[in-house]
């Protein structure tokens, strides 16, 4: 239970940093998606069990955004599922695998995001969105994924050890 509360607070902190801290620091410049990156790295580390946090993070972002509720969480979930399906490719480095995973999630989830916005009647310049937003964010988020992986990997290992220990005791 304590682990869930800590994870939720961490995610809430990421959402606040993404919606309030980064805009104040970077202005209207392109900003990396902290929630997308961290949750995608977490799924890459933990498997489908990590999808719960993708859903929670995406939903929190949805509620801070003026886009239709569910659009971000749905896009991020599908992005992670697609990344999981493509994950069969042999990538020797675990960090590179996480970065690739995040790149795929970024492309798929923002692609769905653009589609959803268009579906809801909002005007989106699709070629501009792809070349000037999605592709740069793919690079930006992938770079951030390297840092996120370095932070989340020990946490995942620790969690795994504690779960294994609990299983033995049981």
Sites for other proteins among residues 98-127 (CB under 8 A): 110, 113-114, 116-117, 119-125
Q: Comparing C-alpha atoms, which of 170, 142, 155, 164 is closest to residue 50?
A: 155
- In the complex, least distance from residue 98 CB atom to other proteins, rounded to whole angstroms: 12
Task: Figure out which of the listed residues 3, 49, 147, 157 binds other proteins, where binding follows CB under 8 A.
Answer: 49
- In the complex, least distance from residue 148 CB atom to other proteins, rounded to whole angstroms: 16
Region at 68 (left for phi over 0; alpha for psi -120 to 50; beta for the rest): beta
Q: Does 52 bind other proteins (CB under 8 A)?
A: yes
Whole-number Å distance between alpha carbons of 51 and 81: 9
**First-last CA distance in the chain:** 18
Alpha helices in 47-134 (DSSP H): 51-64, 71-86, 94-119, 126-128
Contacts with other proteins by CB under 8 A lie at: 12, 15-31, 33, 35, 43-44, 46-49, 51-52, 54-55, 58-59, 61, 63-74, 77-78, 80-81, 83-84, 87-88, 110, 113-114, 116-117, 119-125, 128-129, 132-133, 137
């Amino acid at each position: 239970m304590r682990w869930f509360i800590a994870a939720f607070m961490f995610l809430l902190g990421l959402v606040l940093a993404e919606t309030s801290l980064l805009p104040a620091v970077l202005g209207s410049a392109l900003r990396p998606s902290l929630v997308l990156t961290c949750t995608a790295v977490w799924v890459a580390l933990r498997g489908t069990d990590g999808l719960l946090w993708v859903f929670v993070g995406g939903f929190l972002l949805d509620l801070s955004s003026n886009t239709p509720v569910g659009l971000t969480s749905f896009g991020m979930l599908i992005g992670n599922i697609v990344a999981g399906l493509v994950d069969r490719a042999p990538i020797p480095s675990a960090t590179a695998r996480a970065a690739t995973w995040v790149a795929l999630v970024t492309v798929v989830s923002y692609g769905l995001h653009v589609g959803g916005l268009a579906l809801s009647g909002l005007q989106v310049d699709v070629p501009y969105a792809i070349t000037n937003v999605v592709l740069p964010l793919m690079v930006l988020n992938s770079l951030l994924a390297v840092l996120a992986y370095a932070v989340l990997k020990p946490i995942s290992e620790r969690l795994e050890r504690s779960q294994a220990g609990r299983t033995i005791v049981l």
